[in-house]
Structure 1
Amino acid sequence: MSDNPFSRGSRGAPPAITIGDPVPLGDRADNRVLIPVMEGGPPRPPSDIIRALDGQTMGTTWSARVIAPPGVDEAALRTAIDEELAAVVAIFSPWEFNSEISRFNAAPEGIWAVSDPLWAVLNAAMDLGDETNGAVDPTLGALVDLWGFGPPGPRSALLPVPSDEEIEAARKVSGWQKLRMHRDAQAVVQIGGMKLDFSGIAKGYAVDRVSDRLTALGATSHLIEIGGELKGRGVKPDAQPWWVEIERIGGSPAPRTVAALVDLAVATSGDYRRAFTHKGRLYPHTLNGATGQPVDNGLASVTVLHASAMMADAYATALTVMGPVDGPEYAEAVGLAAHFVARTEAGLVESLTPAFAAMMDEAG
């Protein structure tokens, strides 16, 4: 499983989502509208001024709409956001030679202590690995590199697809069941050649981290987007929620969908984002650790809404790995609000979980 947010344009970076002013609700009669169930009304925003900020990070772009309290100016907001994003890159980017993950990936066999943030995210990923039987797997860096989606860059056009022997060699140093963690020492065992990769969870983690930092500054109403992963907190000065348009694959049977992100995040995983084609077959960036190959199960797109952007990000990738049958069944069983688009002989077909359907207001 991989959805690398740190690449510098390799194989096409995930498209960013513009979070400008949305279409007014009155113009949405033909759209699908998602409204989360809430207990009580959200608190008033800390001021009447919405500040718009943007920038670049992790090989993609970020955008923010922030309502800060008096005394917290735009420069302070930008500094806070930049600091959080720089911290994420310094820990989790395999594209940075001196990042913490790069140092672990290049380390010889042994037991290596890790930082609090890396430990926390690794624990979350491993828990999800156990929960999803490996559909979330933070140990697939060797396979990510082998398939041309990692720091070494795309494979040669002369050998675009790895051999079975190469795949098996990478699998020997991959797999969440092989990873050993020393909890008392907050340390991880490097078996030699294992490469951690948090591509399917890092952008969501970064969104949560920025959101928490802004909240700590008193900017309790904001909308954050990093490379297509979004999270909204609070409401705007007019008491309207942060409306965002859900990413949609071309030709999807689903109508245009807008969601009210009130203390809610949304993430989408799609086979159209970063991929290459060889002999008529599409090879997407999302890898299945059980086979060591890119997923090839017919799922074109999975969208998940969750209170945590990190969890939405991870679950979207996990459901993609599970496929068009097991994915929806699992999502329904654990109560996820999820939407699926599958490629079938009859064309693109959508399905959605009861939790997703419960948020729908078809009337607009």
Structure 2
Amino acid sequence: MRVLSKFKGFLFSLFFGFLIGCGESASLREHVYQGGALGTSYAIKVFTADTTDLQPAIDSVFRVVNQSLSTYQPDSDISRINRGDSRVQVDKMFAEVFEMSVQIHGQTEGYFDPTVGILVDAWGFGPGAALEMDSTRVDSLRQYVGLEKVRLTPDFRIAMQQPGMRLDFNAIAKGYAVDRLGVML
């Protein structure tokens, strides 16, 4: 829940700052946009004199991000890759998030690792069913963890050295979605 609260707070701060930068007007009105994306919900408040309905554009951004990066959608690119579908050709968004993850993985000496998807699911924090966990189970699942075992090929496919590995970009995808919303606005 803390992550959800921080995500909502970050969205609010982003849009509040965006609006302050647009200048003041005596006829500002509050517009609230709500929905679900990336396995959570969002609420965006915009204060503007403009009456344009932003909901379709917001929904469009989240739809594209979800289709690429959401582990909560069974037909998303990442879900198909996690099921072992090597035919998936990822989009630019997926490639950007993958490359950012590789960079952050290196900067944190491996502490940030989006290949922990199998552990996230095993502990019951992802879309998969929780397992009975003990040190033996954790040790057996760790063989499926390690970003150095995954690469983005020149034809935009994900190649994994170890079948059964699962990517989980949820630690970075929400911030990426906010960045995409900022570009849209």
| Shorter-chain TM-score above 0.5 | yes
Moved >6 Å (runs of 4+):
none
Asked whether the equivalents of residues 124 and 130 of structure 2 are also in contact (C-alpha less than 8 Å), the reply is: yes
Is residue 104 of structure 2 the alignment partner of residue 134 of structure 1? no
Q: What is the CA distance between 1:169 and its match in structure 2? A: 2.5
Asked whether the equivalents of residues 112 and 189 of structure 1 are also in contact (C-alpha less than 8 Å), the reply is: no
Distance change in 2, residues 1:60/1:181 (3 Å): closer
Whole-angstrom distance in 1 between the partners of 2:130 and 2:88? 30
Asked whether the equivalents of residues 88 and 157 of structure 2 are also in contact (C-alpha less than 8 Å), the reply is: yes
- Paired residues in the alignment total 173
Is residue 40 of structure 2 the alignment partner of residue 60 of structure 1? yes
The code of the aligned residue for 2:89 comes to A
Q: What is the CA distance between 1:137 and its match in structure 2? A: 1.1
Higher relative contact order (CA 8 A, sep 6+): 1
**Structure 1 or 2: more strand by fraction:** 1
The code of the aligned residue for 1:95 comes to Y
Aligned partner of 2:5 among 8, 12, 16 = 16
Aligned partner of 1:194 among 144, 165, 168 = 165
Distance change in 2, residues 1:43/1:82 (3 Å): closer
Asked whether the equivalents of residues 68 and 90 of structure 2 are also in contact (C-alpha less than 8 Å), the reply is: no
User: 5 Å matches for 1:349-364?
Assistant: none
Whole-angstrom distance in 1 between the partners of 2:169 and 2:94? 10
Q: Which runs of 5+ in 2 are unaligned?
A: 10-19
Between 123-132 and 58-67, report the one with greater CA deviation.
58-67
User: 5 Å matches for 1:1-364?
Assistant: 14-16=3-5, 42=21, 44=23, 48-57=27-36, 58-68=38-48, 70=50, 73=52, 75=53, 77-107=54-84, 110=86, 112-155=88-131, 159=132, 162-182=133-153, 184-191=154-161, 192-214=163-185
Q: What is the CA distance between 1:43 and its match in structure 2? A: 5.3
**Larger radius of gyration between Structure 1 and Structure 2:** 1
**Structure 1 or 2: more helix by fraction:** 2
- TM-score norm. by structure 1 comes to 0.43
Q: What is the CA distance between 1:48 and its match in structure 2? A: 4.1
- Give the superposed CA RMSD: 2.8
The percent of aligned pairs where both chains have the same amino acid is 28
Asked whether the equivalents of residues 52 and 66 of structure 1 are also in contact (C-alpha less than 8 Å), the reply is: yes
Whole-angstrom distance in 1 between the partners of 2:46 and 2:75? 32
